[in-house]
A and B are shown apart, each in its own frame.
Chain A
Amino acid sequence: MSMRELRPRILIPVLDMVALAYLWSVANLFFGLILYGKELFTIPHWGWMALFAVEGTALWETFGRSLGMKIMGRDLLPRGSPAKRLRYLFLWHLFILGLPVWLLLRRVPQERGSGLSLTERTPGEAPVSWYRTSQGLVLALILVFTFAAAWVIAKVNPLLFIQRAKGTGLFWKELVTPRPSEFIEGFKLIVQTLFMAIMATVFAVIAAVPLSFLAARNLMRGPLARPIYTVVRGTASFMRSIDAVIWAIVISVGVGVGAFAGTLALLVHSIVDLIKLYSEQLESIDQGPIEAITATGANKLQVIRYGIIPQIINPYISFTLYRWDINVRMSTIIGLVGGGGIGFRLVSFLRESDLRGAGTLTLLIIAMVWAIDYLSARLREKLA
């Protein structure tokens, strides 16, 4: 059997098993939390879970249209007798046990033994409402249990708002009553926060522009260049998934709590993010101008100067502005974890339950973010 024919026959049971195993564990998670107050992915022995997934898949695929069959667009035809179905069910287990062997044979055992076959679905079938199909019901169960488990795990308890309603009025009143004496100190911190974002963005651009050329697949061809591309791109895309806040808690140990640590954290995250954005832009440039300039006998630097830079300059600027926007937002919270700026003072106010002070600083943050948002939107509009 060719790989093309075998692929759906493997993918369909895998999909179904994953779906059923997920359903099992998410339902157990929910009931475990409700009944025992513990996070248990399977309450009985995990063998039961495996049995449920495998046998459930076998039954589902033999007697109904499973989720995997629906996704891959296959049906078990013809709609033969129950005896044929039973034979299919038994031989299916043989198939699952010896997966790689079937590549050598012409037909998989359950189809040869039963005369049924997984054929591509013919279009033009009347749609059936979801609650009358097995895959619709299983999907609904998965969603219901996912939300039920999420609800319990996230300890969602709207009653808390009612229980704490007594303090709520005072809480919000304090929060929205600014303390004028805080404005001057707060303004200084806003300036500092803004400068953190500016410094991080400027230095990130300086670092990311040259590195982005090393991370562009279309420019890095050749035995020496390809590994460099892989390393730079891989590192960037992996480090990108570490948030600036996490960088801040690590770096603040190295250089001490303060604005410098926050700036460095923003800088690291901005560099790797900009490398990705920039290099994707580089990869989508038009090859025409480059070929034309190469044809005039220009050297590599001249090609970059006259063939590439004119194409990328405007997207680069707009990505930089976008990143600056993010940095301004992030710089307001990086202080919460030791990064300096306005967040640092804000979190110390909140720890002391000085809500008026915290409210004043929040007001300043809102004003700053709003202003910067407006400014950079206008600038980007002009560039576009």
Chain B
Amino acid sequence: MARKPNRSRSVEPAISAKAIITSFFLDWLFWGYFAYVVVYLLNYYWYTVYVDWYGKLVLPAWAWPVAVGGTFELAALCHALGHSLGVKALGLRWERTGPRVKLLHLLGLNGALLLGAGAFALVYFGACRIHGLPPALGREAAMGLGAVLGLVVVLGAMVFFSRAVPGLVLAPLPSPDKWTAPPPRWYRTLWGLMALGLFLLIMILGWHVTDASLKRLGNMVKTAYLWKALATPDFQHLLHPDPWLNQSILQGLIQSIFMALLATVFGAAFAFPLSFLGARNIMNFNPLARATYYFTRGVFNVFRSVESMLWATIFAIWIGWGPFAGTMALFIHTIAALGKLYSEQVEHIDPGPVEAVTATGASRLEVVRYAVIPQIVPSCLALTFYRWDINVRMSTVIGLVGGGGIGRVLFYYKQNTMWHQVGAVILTIALVVWALDYISGRVREGMV
């Protein structure tokens, strides 16, 4: 058997524990997902077939170890015997010198599972024997502690065993210019089949989870009257205010556009100074500054994750329905989104001018003023225009949740099923958004 000389093996660095753990974890996740889909579908069809059977398919106590152990075993088989998806996803490959190595690897993984199960059992049954603990708390705490400890033992043992098997190396995939033969087509490899399976599982589960059904899609035909009404818009209230709303479509539109304008301009004005606090290269002169950087970025990210329509709902409750709530929602979201984009611009500046200005003995503020700001102004302007586009788009729908503007008009007509008027509002919105998009696209082209 061709074996590497002992000397070179000792020089070789140990296989990275992170790579072993991550790749195996991904495989385990795959089979865990598979088990989830199986249980979900079982649940779904059971429930659908026997409508009178009420309740959920609850896993019995013995099914949990079976599920955990079974998914682990399946993952171990894929991981040790073939080129599994988790290993491929990291751009790696197990290099094994023979079937004996594969077997040893599989045995090692199973040994890790046994050790982990043992650790769990030790903690869990041990804790159950401690007197004086409240039974419910004791059991749950023991369960949690045992699970964590078991997982640590499993992963540790896995790393240890994988390293201990002689002739087993987790190597990066060879680059295309080193190929001696074309690699097998993706559908003839294990990872390819696993990826295909993953895709199919996602689509099957997604079809059920989103309540998709072709029958309901077919019901759209029954609502032909709706599309017909939308296609024959009624522009009666385009200019003349609707007495019920006290607002015409055009007035609503103007309100929306002005809301977007205020939000964009004030948002940009607030985001610009804040963006320096969120730039890593500016805020690294002492620990406090670094803390400010992380805090600012964190706030930007949190506020950005909440969409402006959700902000509008919150503001509508907080300060009352109306265009001001919508403006505030757009404003807050604009600060966060532009703050992040601006600070990325600050981070990507050319350090040359900064060094030059610093060398003249300028203060930190002067450096920002004379070396940073001139570099970022053009791209920040382009980003602001881009944001203006988004704000116009959002301001037209923000009224649906109480934010004022043309969305309020749309909401009113929709609630009263006045579809001809809804058609008119949608057409107006589409035309204006399209026109403003086009104009700002031209302006941005001219600027960059």
Contact = CB atoms under 8 A, between A and B. Distances in A.
Nearest to A247: B426
B302 interface: yes
Given A164-B318, A237-B434, A192 B210 contact: yes
B113 interface: no
B211 A259 contact: yes
Secondary structure at the B interface, as helix, strand, loop or mixed, is helix
Contacts of A154: 255, 258-259, 262, 323-324, 326-327, 404
B211 A258 contact: yes
Nearest to B215: A255
Contacts of B324: 154-157, 160
Interface in A149-200: 149-151, 153-157, 160-161, 164, 167-168, 171, 175, 191-192, 195-196, 198-199
Nearest to B308: A333
Interface stretch (B70-78, B120-128, B201-209, B273-281): B201-209
Interface string A212-247: 000000000000000000000000011111110110
Nearest to B423: A250
A123 interface: no
B219 interface: yes
A23 interface: no
Given A151-B262, A154-B323, A332-B307, A255 B251 contact: no
Given A199-B207, A260-B210, A254 B202 contact: no
Which of A246, A264, A358 neighbours the largest number of chain B CB atoms within 10 Å of its CB? Answer: A246
A36 interface: no
A379 B400 CA distance: 35
A340 interface: yes
Interface residues of A, number: 67
Nearest to B302: A366
A255 B49 CA distance: 23
A12 interface: no
B291 interface: no
A155 B323 contact: yes
Contacts of B307: 329-330, 332-333
B401 interface: yes
Contacts of B309: 245, 333, 336
Nearest to B394: A243
B306 interface: yes
Interface string B300-338: 011001110110011001111011101100000000000
Contacts of B437: 241
Given A154-B323, A246-B429, A202 B220 contact: no
Contact of A245 (B217, B261, B397): B397
A275 interface: no
B213 interface: yes
A337 B307 CA distance: 14
B401 A336 contact: yes
A369 B304 CA distance: 9
A167 B319 CA distance: 10
Interface stretch (A131-139, A306-314, A346-354): A346-354
Contacts of B223: 253-254
A255 B220 contact: yes
Contacts of A333: 307, 309-310
Contacts, number: 169
B313 A336 contact: yes
B244 to A, nearest CB: 17
Interface in B358-412: 393-394, 396-397, 400-401, 404, 410
A131 to B, nearest CB: 20
A350 B429 CA distance: 27
Contacts of B320: 160, 164
B258 A150 contact: yes
Contacts of B322: 155
B226 interface: yes
B153 interface: no
A48 interface: no
A-B CB proximity, top 9 nearest = A150-B258, A369-B305, A241-B433, A241-B434, A195-B206, A333-B309, A366-B305, A259-B210, A254-B223
Interface of A: 39, 146-147, 149-151, 153-157, 160-161, 164, 167-168, 171, 175, 191-192, 195-196, 198-199, 202, 237-243, 245-246, 249-251, 253-256, 258-260, 262-264, 329-330, 332-333, 336-337, 340, 343, 346-347, 350, 353, 355, 358, 362, 365-366, 369-370, 373
Given A160-B324, A195-B210, A260-B213, 13 more contacts: A39-B254, A147-B261, A164-B318, A199-B203, A241-B393, A249-B400, A250-B226, A255-B217, A259-B210, A263-B212, A340-B210, A347-B401, A350-B314
Interface of B: 202-203, 205-207, 209-213, 216-217, 219-220, 223, 226, 230, 251, 254-255, 258-259, 261-262, 265, 301-302, 305-307, 309-310, 313-314, 317-320, 322-324, 326-327, 393-394, 396-397, 400-401, 404, 410, 414, 422, 426, 429-431, 433-434, 437
16 contacts: A147-B265, A161-B319, A195-B206, A195-B209, A198-B202, A241-B430, A241-B434, A245-B400, A250-B422, A254-B226, A255-B217, A262-B210, A263-B210, A336-B309, A337-B401, A350-B314
